[in-house]
């Protein structure tokens, strides 16, 4: 072999292996005797996350000579809580269809195992059913991080080794990915704690991918963008240079910014490899919160919403006493009185009558004791971002409920959301607690949430996140001048009973006490004490989990941000099971006040 071919082949091999490791192919099958009809299922990131939804790309090529419909089921089964998602994909003859699927997975607190077993099953009428499985191990303490192929090429091996040496329970620094395979929907990033991407790859993303990433950051994600460009005149990197509308640079670190509940960082690198020292940036919980840890640790007895909701003790006497009476009646009383000697034939109808009567009495007791449906408390953070080109409502909802008799444990929803179970205190009513030892299944099919979401006589806690389009806004008619307050107008869908606003110059304003502002009305403002504003924000965030409450208080430092208390939760709450009656549902409404939308035809 000519000498020059050796390094050339080595380079090609490195490129091929780095590309192959940037995605996980779960299934790739070509049907026999059907031309080039094939099914390909790949995980965008390795399916080894600790919570959230794992993104998959399903590509089906139909060259079979007729239109067909495939049913694809992806499941995660190595948990006390197992999950699966099923979709139907119709493909015309001669066409190729690619769909993104998002498999919700059980958070780490539901199991002691860090191993995921992901199974894919594909079927179509008249064709053999295909199934494949792939296993991956999650990290123990290190967050779930994804890294672009460009950053990973010469760095990932050393970074992985460094993380493993620090903690034997952690298997990797980051999951590599191909930029062109990144999801377009924010739910595809919900299993990550941080996303690392080089600046050129960031600029190469299409608008849908970039929008999906930013929506995920709004809801609490962390985005790190690495650039090789040096600022002129020895200046520091500034996150404003990314020109992301709505970012709030941090005063002490201009290369970092707050983006609603999430963070965006602009970092410098040499274009070759990343120093292993960056690992420390992701080990501090303040810098990179681990959502799986929050779901497991932030919803115990110190969670104020659960404390307000209260506990319920299991009273075994309610069932044991009727059963004891039944045992006495069906045996000695029945045998020696109803069907005494010489009338034993009566046992053939007295025993069934007594049994049915006992069942009806127990059912009646359960209905009277527990009732039908359930009750609960939920608390809602509604973040309205009505800047041009965004116009989204970001909802983070935390809820706890207790059910009586539920005829159907699943429910329908037309909202795209990530619904993560949270670790409620140990209880015989909690199916996911260590004291339960009950297995649970969640089934997702189109808009149906099936399985054991809301079982009879149980407690459920969920953290729900969603992004929805909105036309709601608070408009700035004129900014503050000297000591005069700014002029704002509410275009919110509901009336508000309290309002605070921090203007661009750092001053704090509030609506006078007992003021109710109707939709479409101007918001009267007066100067407010900044300490009073902080105390008000602290008071109205106590029902949230500690981690979310801390982020909400940080939002109070944003410029042009307002907070309000709406008179009704209906426009912002995310519906789950229709049989749950919400006894308490406080809403904290926030957003960035924007300039009026120009009239059509105006510059």
Q: How far is CA 22 from the centre of its chain?
A: 24
Identify the residue with better confidence: 312 or 385.
385
Residue with the two structure tokens 């965030």: 541
pLDDT of 230: 81
Instruction: Provide the pLDDT confidence category of residue 13 given band limits of 50, 70 and 90.
Output: very low
The answer to whether residues 105 and 43 touch, using CB atoms and an 8 Å cutoff, is: no
pLDDT of 552: 97
How distant, in Å, are the alpha carbons of 87, 321, 353, 357, 582 from that of 329? 53, 12, 11, 11, 42
Q: Per residue in 493-518, pLDDT tens? A: 999 999 999 998 889 999 999 999 99
pLDDT of 434: 67
Burial 436-460 (b: 16+ CB within 10 A, else e): beeebbbbbeeeebbbbbbbebbbb
Q: Per residue in 404-426, pLDDT tens? A: 888 889 999 999 999 999 999 98
Partners of 374 in beta bridges:
403, 580
How distant, in Å, are the alpha carbons of 20, 145, 157 from that of 153? 12, 15, 9
How distant, in Å, are the alpha carbons of 32, 485, 521 from that of 528? 74, 10, 21
Instruction: Provide the pLDDT confidence category of residue 316 given band limits of 50, 70 and 90.
Output: low
The per-type count for the chain, helices as H runs and strands as E runs, is 11, 31
Q: Per residue in 227-244, pLDDT tens? A: 998 877 767 789 999 999
Closest of 425, 419, 421 to residue 396, by C-alpha: 419
pLDDT of 105: 93
Estimate the share of the chain in helix, then strand, then coil, as percent rounded to the nearest 5.
Answer: 25, 35, 40
Q: Per residue in 64-96, pLDDT tens? A: 999 999 999 999 987 788 999 999 999 999 999
Torsions phi, psi for 253 (to 5 deg)? -130, 90
Residue with the two structure tokens 């939920």: 378
pTM, two decimals, is 0.89
Instruction: Provide the pLDDT confidence category of residue 597 given band limits of 50, 70 and 90.
Output: low
Closest of 203, 196, 190 to residue 173, by C-alpha: 196
- Give the CB-side neighbour count of residue 33, counting CA atoms within 13 A: 3
Residue with the two structure tokens 């990973």: 152
Region 125-152: what's the mean pLDDT?
A: 93
pLDDT of 264: 96
Q: Per residue in 368-405, pLDDT tens? A: 666 678 999 999 999 999 998 899 999 999 999 999 88
Q: How far is CA 602 from the centre of its chain?
A: 40
pLDDT of 602: 42
**Following DSSP, what letter does each residue of 320-363 receive, concatenated?**
HHHHHHHHHIIIIIIIIIIT-TT-GGGHHHHHHHHHHHHHHHHH
**Would you state the structure tokens that stand for residue 62, as one six-digit string?**
């139909």
Q: For residue 188, give the 3-state DSSP assignment.
A: helix
Structural domains for the chain: 5-134 (2.60.40.10), 161-297 (no CATH), 371-603 (no CATH)
């Amino acid at each position: 072999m000519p000498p020059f071919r050796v390094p050339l082949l080595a380079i090609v091999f490195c490129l091929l292996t780095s590309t192959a490791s940037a995605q996980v192919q779960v299934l790739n099958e070509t049907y026999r005797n059907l031309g080039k009809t094939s099914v390909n299922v790949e995980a965008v990131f390795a399916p080894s996350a600790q919570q959230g939804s794992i993104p998959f790309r399903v590509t089906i090529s139909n060259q079979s000579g007729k239109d067909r419909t495939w049913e694809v089921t992806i499941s995660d089964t190595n948990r006390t809580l197992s999950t699966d998602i099923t979709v139907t994909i119709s493909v015309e003859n001669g066409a190729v269809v690619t769909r993104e699927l998002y498999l919700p997975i059980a958070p780490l607190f539901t199991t002691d195992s860090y191993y995921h077993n992901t199974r894919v099953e594909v079927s179509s009428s008249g064709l053999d059913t295909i199934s494949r499985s792939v296993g991956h191990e999650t990290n123990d303490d290190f967050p779930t991080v994804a890294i672009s192929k460009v950053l990973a090429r010469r760095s990932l091996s050393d970074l992985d080794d460094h993380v493993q040496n620090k903690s034997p329970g952690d298997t990797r620094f980051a999951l590599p990915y191909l930029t062109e395979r990144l999801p377009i929907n924010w739910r595809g990033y919900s299993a990550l704690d941080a996303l690392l991407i080089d600046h050129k790859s960031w600029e190469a993303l299409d608008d849908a991918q970039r929008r999906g990433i930013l929506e995920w950051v709004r809801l609490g994600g962390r985005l790190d963008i690495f650039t090789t460009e040096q600022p002129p005149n020895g200046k520091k990197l500034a996150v404003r240079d990314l020109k992301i509308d709505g970012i709030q640079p941090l005063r002490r670190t201009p290369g970092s910014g707050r983006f609603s509940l999430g963070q965006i960082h602009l970092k410098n690198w040499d274009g070759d490899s990343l120093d292993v020292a960056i690992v420390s940036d992701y080990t501090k919980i303040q810098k990179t919160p681990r959502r799986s840890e929050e779901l497991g640790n932030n919803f115990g007895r110190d969670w104020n919403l659960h404390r307000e909701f209260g506990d319920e003790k299991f009273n075994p006497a309610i069932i044991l006493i009727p059963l004891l009476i039944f045992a006495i009646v069906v045996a000695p009383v029945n045998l020696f009185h109803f069907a005494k000697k010489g009338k034993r034939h009566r046992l053939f109808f007295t025993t069934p009558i007594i049994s049915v009567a006992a069942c009806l009495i127990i059912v009646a007791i359960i209905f009277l004791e527990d009732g039908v449906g359930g009750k609960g408390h939920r608390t809602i953070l509604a973040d309205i971002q009505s800047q041009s080109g965004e116009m989204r409502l970001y909802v983070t909802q935390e809820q706890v409920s207790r059910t009586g008799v539920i005829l159907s444990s699943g429910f329908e929803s037309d909202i795209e959301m990530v619904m993560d179970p949270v670790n409620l205190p140990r209880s015989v009513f909690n199916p996911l607690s260590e004291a339960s030892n009950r297995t649970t299944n969640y089934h997702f099919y189109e808009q149906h949430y099936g399985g054991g979401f809301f079982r009879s006589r149980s407690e459920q806690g969920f953290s729900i996140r969603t992004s929805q389009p909105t036309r709601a806004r608070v408009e700035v008619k004129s900014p503050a001048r000297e000591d005069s307050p700014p002029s704002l107008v509410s275009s919110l869908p509901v009336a508000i009973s309290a309002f605070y606003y921090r203007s661009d110059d750092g001053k704090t304003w509030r609506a006078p006490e007992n003021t109710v502002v109707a939709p479409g009305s101007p918001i009267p403002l007066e100067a407010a004490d900044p300490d009073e504003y902080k105390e008000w924000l602290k008071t109205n965030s106590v029902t949230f989990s500690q981690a979310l409450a801390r982020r909400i208080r940080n939002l109070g430092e944003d410029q042009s941000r307002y907070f309000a208390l709406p008179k009704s939760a209906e426009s912002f709450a995310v519906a789950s099971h229709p049989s749950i009656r919400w006894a308490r549902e406080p809403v904290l409404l926030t957003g960035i006040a924007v300039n009026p939308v120009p009239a059509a035809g105006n510059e």
